[in-house]
Amino acid sequence: MSQTVEQRAANTIRTLSIDAVQKANSGHPGAPMGMADMAVVLWTQFLKVDPTDPTWIDRDRFVLSAGHASMLLYSTLHIAGFPITIDDIKAFRQWGSVTAGHPEIDHPLGIEMTTGPLGQGFASGIGMAIAEERLRGIFGADLVDHRTYAFVSDGDLMEGITSEAASFAGHQELGKIVYLYDDNSISLVGPTSWSFTEDIPQKFDAVGWHTITVDGHDHQALAEAITAGNDEAGRPTLISCKTHIGYGSPNKQDSAASHGSPLGEEEIVLTKERLGWDFPPFTVPDDVRDLFVRSLAVRTAEREAWEQRLAAARDDNDTAMLWDAHFSPQPVNLSPPPLDAGAKKATRALSGAVIQDLAQVRPDVVGGSADLASSNNTQIKSSGDFTPEDRTARNIRFGVREHAMGAFTNGLVIHGGVRAFAGTFLQFSDYMRGAVRLGALMGVPSIWVFTHDSIFLGEDGPTHQPVEHVAALRAIPNLWVIRPADAGEAAGAWQVAMNRTEGPTALILTRQGVAEPSVTTDPAVVGRGAHVVRDGGEVVIIATGSEVSLARDAADLLAERGVSAGVVSMPCVEAFNELSRSDQKDIIGRGTPRVSLEAGVTQGWAEITGRRGLRIGIDTFGASAPASVLAQQYGFTATQIADRVDEYLKA
């Protein structure tokens, strides 16, 4: 049958996808088959990307939130001329391949972010759009003027993170977002009607979005809808694209059978016959490749013109310095905030003071919290709030939306030109865990500010008192968890977090004041993970955060009993673990009995203390009472700690 080159392009994406899934004997063919027309229209008519420079700063961001449809992205990137080869397509889901089962962040390949857990791409894309709005407000549309597109699925829209994110985007009037919803009425196990009967356009209308419904296989209708979305300046756009999962498969179209399993050799033959496809497996017809080459050559010209505008703008020294401060920022060296002699300050307050200094030296820094700015001490006092009326402001009011806030923060940092932090109570890090884990997986240097870090926040009770959360965060690979003990360590924690580019950092901060907050004079010690606070040869107490001052007091009592106890502050176990064994022993001793002291579960501390060491913690939930009462009841007074160490040494 006669086909246009655009139809043949869609069928190329379909056949590459089903061939790759079949060869891997693993994958999701149905969604790529259903969304192929959407991809062809977006990439050949609208998407501003340049395969010759995939990391171009002013490119459009495209996020495949429906990450299971990864072969749609890989096939499209290959046809478009990005450095994903046909051999990469054939190696789908294999060891060492760049074509993983779900897209993994790789900007030089054209892959914007990791999208596995559904809803993460939807929300992270909104973070990218926030970054674009702010940078455009600073530098103007000549240098920053791009859009955020995403393909989203029924599964994305079922996840709660999406409702949080959509509400925020509508409230903020983020008009440069256009999301195409693959509305195929099928989920993994069967029809979506079994569990999902919402009127999605009406729902999104209600939270401030512009919505359109079209036939997702009609190229003209798709183009008109995307144009209308791009013309909508004050609202994000959701285009509900009515599609057929497994499009073209005679026996599996519109069936969950095409969602997560290969079609099978016989069905592939029948499907290709139905599509009028008579090419060998893994074939890209010349006219299809030419279609993408011609379309994207326009983008290369746009990128070259942009580079000329940037060069001209950089003739102004102030503009050049401001641009570099956002896109090539320098490492920071931070100083402890000044303190009154003998004052007790919560480490959340010390962190807040450091943020003010940081904001002065790093104009790329933005941040916010989940409606807890005054409690988290995350407000940048020299700036107002990011709003539709002020896109250059640095404080973002995320509202009580922890999970979306985490994904927004990842998106802001992934976009580039912005360094973002987000704050909430440590207890609510559970709500953010999906985003925190993905940030670590992608190596995104987001910064998480988690306050109210132990049972010692007191009367709010165990629902708000984290005990297992520090250990749970430490379990995430590539996430550095820092629990500072004093002003110097608070400055060092932020210094480490800001200068760390290979992954995220979580700052764990107290609500209550900590004694002797000026023990640490050199913030750089945080980068080593641990340092000696007090020398002593018979036992060493290794503590974190507010327990460092407690350890010092216990060591004083032990000294009165004739026991020489050393104290080590270990604000960052992950940094300590990167030291050589020799350097570690220089800090925590060689053969010296070790005691860990932290107001949380003891899980994980045996790696530091050794099997025979003493681990003092709280392996149960907290209670509602004043902090001083809780300390007594849970054995966290200096006398109780000294007694336990004494008993341990005598055992």
Predicted confidence (pLDDT) per residue in 167-192, tens digit: 999 999 999 999 999 999 988 888 88
The tens digit of pLDDT for each residue in 346-377 reads 999 999 999 999 999 999 999 999 999 999 99
Q: Which ranges of 314-450 does DSSP label H, i.e. alpha helix?
A: 317-327, 347-361, 373-376, 402-415, 429-442
Instruction: Give the helix/strand (H/E) hosting 584.
Output: helix 581-588
Q: Is 317 exposed, middle or buried (0-12, 13-18, 19+ CB in 10 A)?
A: exposed
Q: What is the pTM of this model?
A: 0.97
pLDDT surpassing 90 at residue 516: no
The tens digit of pLDDT for each residue in 211-252 reads 999 999 999 999 999 999 999 999 999 999 999 999 999 999
pLDDT of residue 344: 87
Q: Which ranges of 5-98 does DSSP label H, i.e. alpha helix?
A: 5-24, 30-45, 70-80, 86-90
8 A C-beta contact, residue 265 and residue 20? no
Question: Measuring CA to CA, which residue among 617, 619, 476 is closest to residue 544?
Answer: 617
Domains of the chain and CATH, by start? 5-301 (3.40.50.970), 345-514 (3.40.50.970), 527-650 (3.40.50.920)
Looking from the CA of 581 toward its CB, the CA atoms found within 13 Å total 3
Pairing of strands 539-543, 531-534: unpaired
**Mean of the per-residue pLDDT values for the chain?**
96
Residue 562: other Cβ atoms inside 10 A: 7
Residues 82-107 as b/e (b if ≥16 CB within 10 A, e otherwise) read bebeeebbbbbbeeebbbbbbbbbbe
The tens digit of pLDDT for each residue in 127-169 reads 999 999 999 999 999 999 999 999 999 999 999 999 999 999 9
| List of residues 6+ apart from 403 with CB closer than 8 A | 123, 160, 161, 164, 431, 432, 434, 435
Over residues 409-418, mean pLDDT: 98
Which residues are paired to 568 by β-bridges? 532, 542
Could you give the CA distance from residue 136 to residue 391 in angstroms, rounded to a whole number?
Answer: 8
Q: Which ranges of 197-280 does DSSP label H, i.e. alpha helix?
A: 200-206, 219-231, 265-275
pLDDT surpassing 60 at residue 1: no
The tens digit of pLDDT for each residue in 25-69 reads 999 999 999 999 999 999 999 999 999 999 999 999 999 999 999
Residue % of the chain over a pLDDT of 90: 94
Which tokens belong to 11?
């069928």
pLDDT of residue 518: 57
Dihedral class, residue 420 (left if φ above 0, else alpha if ψ from -120 to 50, else beta): beta
Question: Measuring CA to CA, which residue among 183, 181, 249, 184 is closest to residue 209?
Answer: 181
Which tokens belong to 368?
């916010």
Residue 402 falls in the annotated catalytic set: yes
The tens digit of pLDDT for each residue in 594-634 reads 999 999 999 999 999 999 999 999 999 999 999 999 999 99
Catalytic residue of the set 112, 159, 164, 402? 402
